[in-house]
Structure 1
Amino acid sequence: MDRQSRVELSTAQVPAAEAFAYWREMICETFVQLSAAPVAGGAFAGRIEHVPVGTLELSTVVAGGQVVRRTRSLIARGADEYLLASIQLHGRGRVEQDGRVAELTSGDMAFYDSTRPYTLRFDDDFRQLVVQVPKHELALRDTRALTARALGPGPGQVVPAFFTSLAGAAKDSPHTSAPLLPHALGLLSAAASFAARTEPGPDPARALVRERAVAFIRRNLADPRLDVDRVARACRVSRRTLYRVFAPDSVAAEIRRIRLDHARALLLEHPDRPVATVAARCGFDSESGFHRAFRAEFGTTPGGTRGQ
């Protein structure tokens, strides 16, 4: 599979008698080498929609009941080193690794590591979002303490919601979602640390506040009145806390950066859209102010970006 572009795979492409054999090929091509078996006889159907966000891979899986295994012999066939997380969207799932079992219902999330054996079990039809990232992208030395643990309250609500929204954004607008990669990796690392009940790297609670703030800014960036007070109220934290979370940068600088990244993506994605319209969509109250900020950030004009 070309991991740099959106791909849709479905067993509807093959005769019913060949559906599960084709499904095995699909999951190995999308993730890592796996074995799989259906939990019941009869017709089987499955579909995978894969979208990349830089080095992060997001795959929505819709399928019938099955047991999926990553065995030692399959691990030995390649050098794949990924951390994966299953976010249950519908139905029930089970993640087994490192002597633990995580039972997942809708909204739950659990990690697993491709370098050690694991088992995924689904007794009935299900839908999941699978988040996959090379382990070297995360500041994690040892994942044995964090696998097969369902995230608890707090991160267990914020993190799945963020990645579910990111998958939708990446599907609809790859250019717009690309700037979110650093935030996604930071949040994933914080969630993994929380699952392990350790705190290497960024403080998990602080990282969650930051991601909540960034999500609010992105939802409201068209409003020129957006400021630190509104962001702090939306996140239910004080201005002082918000300043600490974004240190050494200011909150205003983060708002400006997000606006400019979004504007650049819109310029590339919609070359015929007037610059003034793009500026307004991104919360700039004047076209001249937008031009100055854009040149200061990217070293070129909005028109020059389109010509690149």
Structure 2
Amino acid sequence: MNEPGAAQPETADTGRRLTEIVRTTSLGTWTDAIRDTFVALDIKPAESAPFTGTVRTRRLAHLLAADVLATSQTFDRTGRLASRQPLDLMQIGMVVAGEGELVQDGRTCALRPGDFAIYESARPFTWHLRPEWHLRVFTWPRESIPLSETRSQQLTARTVRADSAVGQLISPLLSGILTHERDVSSGGAIRLADEIAELAITAALEEGDPGDPDSRAQEFRETILRYIDAHIDDADLTPQQIAQAFFISPRTLHRLFARFGETVATTIRLRRLQACRQAMLSPQNAHQPLTDIASRFGFADLAVFSRAFKAMYGVSPSRYRELNR
């Protein structure tokens, strides 16, 4: 039997995806459960009510989705915790019930049911959640997100409203990760995890002021990124070629990307790696040599491709393919 207040782990196999549940009335156990699921946080519950908390998790490839329900409290990722226990994650918090307030990077945003916002664990943040609340948290390894730190600092703690144009599309999609009963293939799960992150970033971008020069610059950058994606199989794609396509000077192009803490060459390289990874996961390429896939997207040297891929994803291309067959 479990002792009173102790965590009560459960597992449920729905659609072949493992769901883990922890319920507790012990603040110490709750603090450990939150740390083990996400990152180390200082947790301060409201003194006026008995404490209860539940966390339920499901995984979709490298995306961890969690339902978190509890009584009023504050979660604080202090600078001390971020430096002493570093873990670099991109996260989305979506309020399902109650109300929340997220603070990061000099901004504070309020969230009501259906609203969501982006935050990152490498920098301090604070969540205030009340009264009886339900938060859905979606977590990606930061290295899987092709977004510079400078740009991410401009997107955090911005409320995406449930009734906004993008919120009406994306909020149900996020909820569906935890409520959908069916499983998907390992390759499909990886692609979905990537696409959901991209959609969330797009939603945060939409919250910017259209009249803001940064927003106009970002819109132009997004247009250029679409051009890069459309020509990613061109081994000769260069910043000079891109600048010529948009009738701007190479210097203007480089300044545009530098504005968001990026370089054009690095961006092309990252998107080539993403294209290779997606091609490796496609069933129609199951028997295609890695050399052919790499060369298709601009990597003439397999050794160079292998080093770049491992630096980006933590494993060699051959091992990655083996793990996701």
Find the aligned partners of 1:109 and 1:201 in 2 and give their Cα distance: 24
Code of the residue aligned with 2:194 in structure 1: it is P
Shift of 1:192: 3.8
1:57 aligns with 2:57: no
1:163 to 174, 180, 190: 174
1:193 to 195, 205, 226: 205
What residue is the counterpart of 2:165 in the other structure? 154
The CA RMSD over aligned residues, in Å, is 3.1
CA distance change for structure 1 residues 128 and 120 in 2, over 3 Å: closer, same or farther?
same
* Corresponding residue SS for 2:143: helix
Find the aligned partners of 1:187 and 1:201 in 2 and give their Cα distance: 16
Find the aligned partners of 2:182 and 2:84 in 1 and give their Cα distance: 35
Structure 1 gaps, min length 5: 207-260, 262-293, 300-307
Structure 2 gaps, min length 5: 1-8, 10-16, 209-214, 227-280, 288-324
The answer on whether the counterparts of 1:85 and 1:111 sit within 8 Å (CA) in structure 2 is yes
1:173 to 159, 179, 183: 183
1:115 aligns with 2:122: yes
Code of the residue aligned with 2:201 in structure 1: it is S
Shift of 1:43: 1.7
With normalisation by structure 2, the TM-score equals 0.56
Shift of 1:199: 4.3
Code of the residue aligned with 1:194 in structure 2: it is E
Find the aligned partners of 2:168 and 2:221 in 1 and give their Cα distance: 21
Code of the residue aligned with 1:157 in structure 2: it is Q
CA distance change for structure 1 residues 199 and 61 in 2, over 3 Å: closer, same or farther?
farther
1:184 aligns with 2:196: yes
Find the aligned partners of 2:38 and 2:176 in 1 and give their Cα distance: 21
CA distance change for structure 1 residues 46 and 175 in 2, over 3 Å: closer, same or farther?
farther
Identity of aligned residues (%): 24
CA distance change for structure 1 residues 65 and 192 in 2, over 3 Å: closer, same or farther?
same
Shift of 1:156: 2.1
What residue is the counterpart of 2:40 in the other structure? 33
* Corresponding residue SS for 1:149: coil
Find the aligned partners of 1:104 and 1:38 in 2 and give their Cα distance: 19
Map 1:1-308 onto structure 2 (within 5 A). Answer: 5-11=18-24, 16=25, 19-141=26-148, 142=150, 143-152=152-161, 153-169=164-180, 172-173=182-183, 175=185, 178=189, 180-195=192-207, 197=215, 198-199=218-219
CA distance change for structure 1 residues 200 and 101 in 2, over 3 Å: closer, same or farther?
farther
Code of the residue aligned with 2:198 in structure 1: it is G
Shift of 1:47: 0.5
With normalisation by structure 1, the TM-score equals 0.59
Shift of 1:194: 3.1
* Of 134-143 and 115-124, the range deviating more from structure 2: 134-143
Find the aligned partners of 1:21 and 1:160 in 2 and give their Cα distance: 32
CA distance change for structure 1 residues 122 and 164 in 2, over 3 Å: closer, same or farther?
same
The answer on whether the counterparts of 1:193 and 1:200 sit within 8 Å (CA) in structure 2 is no
Find the aligned partners of 2:136 and 2:220 in 1 and give their Cα distance: 26
Find the aligned partners of 1:42 and 1:92 in 2 and give their Cα distance: 17
Find the aligned partners of 2:195 and 2:40 in 1 and give their Cα distance: 29
The answer on whether the counterparts of 1:139 and 1:200 sit within 8 Å (CA) in structure 2 is no
Find the aligned partners of 1:129 and 1:174 in 2 and give their Cα distance: 21
Shift of 1:69: 0.1
Find the aligned partners of 1:6 and 1:174 in 2 and give their Cα distance: 15
Shift of 1:173: 2.9
